[in-house]
Amino acid sequence: MKHKTLKGLQDILPPDISIWHHIEKTAANIFKSYGYHEIRLPIMESTEVFKRSIGETSDIVEKEMYTFQDKGGRSVTLRPEGTASFVRAYVEHHLHNNPPPQKYYYTGPMFRYERPQAFRYRQFYQIGAEAMGIEDPKLDAEIISMLSRILDSIGLKGLNFEITSIGCKECRPDHKIALKNFLGSKLDAFCSDCRRRYDTNPLRILDCKVPACIELRKGSPPVLDYLCKECKDHFDSLNKYLKLLKVPYRVNPNLVRGLDYYTKTAFEVSSENLGSQSAVAAGGRYDSMVKEFGGPPTPGIGFAMGMERVIPLLKDVIEISDGPELLICPLDNAASEKGLHLAELLRAKGLWVEINHEITSLKSQMRKANRISAKNVIVLGDDEINSHKIVVKSMIDKVEKESKLDADQIAAILQQRS
Ligand SMILES: [Zn+2]
Ligand SMILES: [Zn+2]
């Protein structure tokens, strides 16, 4: 019987993996320039970690978590997102004792039991960043600018940056009343989930993905109109700083986040080229979460970027050149031994070198050079070994260059051509 990946999961194979490396490396370099340190977190947590922070009435907790009992009878959950795990770690290791801002990033798989569709998987990968301990909107502007720089540097174009403020616990009650007034008269037409949410958490209705509900809630009062003075000042300053940093964005008062923990700033980056799953990255501020996890009151802000959303956008943009610098083609056993040694000497210099271990005709060795996209070839036979001279042939422009049969000289030629 042949086995297959589970529904909604995928294997990531070469050459696609080169795009993954490109994104991860580019992001890591930019994180470094902003002082973000990598943090590695477990992929499962006690179920409570997610329930309390993401919200009992959110779609994620209600429908999408991979939750099960382990052999010790504990309820554990595969992480559906990174921030809750991060905050758990932040409090557990007293990272708040270090001078603010504390800045971290992570990469890794997340799990949600959703209906698989294009660009949406049940195991999906995120690169996320979290900055802790500063309430000032300059930090918000900085992290949004960093995200913009990352997306730009990996080669993404034509993205929409949208920001809003979703208020705080002071200003939300007024908004909630206005929202309930707006939705109340047509509540019967909403889906059963939304009718229930009307009493438990009406804000969640703004996040419902049922098309009828999306239509019905059009024109609902945005929280942006109900901000308290503190939230409004915060948002106004953020706008000022984003303009100062020349981040291209627009305010979208209807932006909603599917997680309960956000306060004030929320943002999303989307692409028109991804169909209905248009979000590429999203994030926001979560000023009360650390306290709710038992730590001292500590503001925080973060974002996560979806790898499976970014990669299809890059496939036509990034040229993946994935082939060895050199293929050594030996013509007999003695040349094969010589080549084996030469390959080692060149690899020690950091060059990607392949050698044909099976001696076949020169024609078939050249065919292989093309198939593996080798950039250069060396043919090794009696003549080359006796004269101690070889020819490095470029497979790209067919230029031939003579060299001593000497690793230093060959390496110099390869480096010149790469
Ligand atoms: Zn407020
Ligand atoms: Zn609904």
Q: What is the pLDDT of residue 159?
A: 93
| One domain for residues 160 and 43 | yes
Q: Which ligand is nearest to the CA of 217?
A: 2
Q: Which ligand is nearest to the CA of 264?
A: 1
- In a domain? residue 6: no
Domain CATH code at residue 367: 3.40.50.800
Task: Give the residue from 285, 314, 343 where a domain finishes.
Answer: 314
Q: How far apart are CA 357 and CA 143, in angstroms?
A: 51
- Cα 274 to ligand 2 centroid, rounded to whole Å: 23
pLDDT tens, per residue, the chain with 418 residues: 899 999 999 999 988 898 999 999 999 999 999 999 999 999 999 999 999 899 888 889 989 999 999 999 999 999 999 999 999 999 999 999 999 999 999 999 999 999 999 889 999 999 999 999 999 999 999 999 999 999 999 999 889 999 999 999 999 899 999 999 999 989 999 999 999 989 988 888 988 889 999 999 999 999 999 999 999 999 999 999 999 999 999 999 988 877 778 899 999 999 988 877 789 999 999 999 999 999 999 999 999 999 999 999 998 788 777 799 999 999 999 999 999 999 999 999 999 999 999 999 999 999 999 999 999 999 999 999 999 999 999 999 999 999 999 999 999 999 998 8
- Cα 380 to ligand 2 centroid, rounded to whole Å: 70
Structure letter (DSSP) for residue 185: T
Q: Which residues have CB atoms below 5 A from the ion given as ligand 1?
A: 167-168, 170-171, 228, 231
| One domain for residues 93 and 21 | yes
Task: Give the residue from 314, 343, 363 where a domain finishes.
Answer: 314
| One domain for residues 289 and 363 | no
Q: Which ligand is nearest to the CA of 209?
A: 2
- In a domain? residue 371: yes
pTM above 0.85, yes or no: yes
- Cα 168 to ligand 1 centroid, rounded to whole Å: 4
Q: Which ligand is nearest to the CA of 194?
A: 2
State the CB neighbour count (10 A cutoff) for residue 239: 16
Task: Give the residue from 314, 341, 374 where a domain finishes.
Answer: 314
Identity (one letter) of the amino acid at 40?
Answer: R
Q: What is the DSSP string of 263-281?
A: EEEEEEEEEGGGTT--EEE
Q: What is the pLDDT of residue 273?
A: 85
- In a domain? residue 380: yes
Rounded alpha-carbon distances, angstroms, from residue 190 to 159, 185, 197, 198, 406: 32, 11, 10, 10, 76
| One domain for residues 375 and 259 | no
- Cα 233 to ligand 1 centroid, rounded to whole Å: 10
How many domains is the chain built from?
A: 2
| One domain for residues 394 and 271 | no
| One domain for residues 66 and 135 | yes
- In a domain? residue 289: yes
Q: How far apart are CA 234 and CA 264, in angstroms?
A: 8
| One domain for residues 300 and 353 | no
Domain CATH code at residue 32: 3.30.930.10
| One domain for residues 288 and 359 | no
Q: What is the pLDDT of residue 212?
A: 93
Q: Which ligand is nearest to the CA of 235?
A: 1
- In a domain? residue 221: no
**Domain range spanning residue 236?**
16-171+227-314
Q: Which ligand is nearest to the CA of 197?
A: 2
- Cα 250 to ligand 1 centroid, rounded to whole Å: 21
- Cα 414 to ligand 1 centroid, rounded to whole Å: 61
Identity (one letter) of the amino acid at 379?
Answer: V
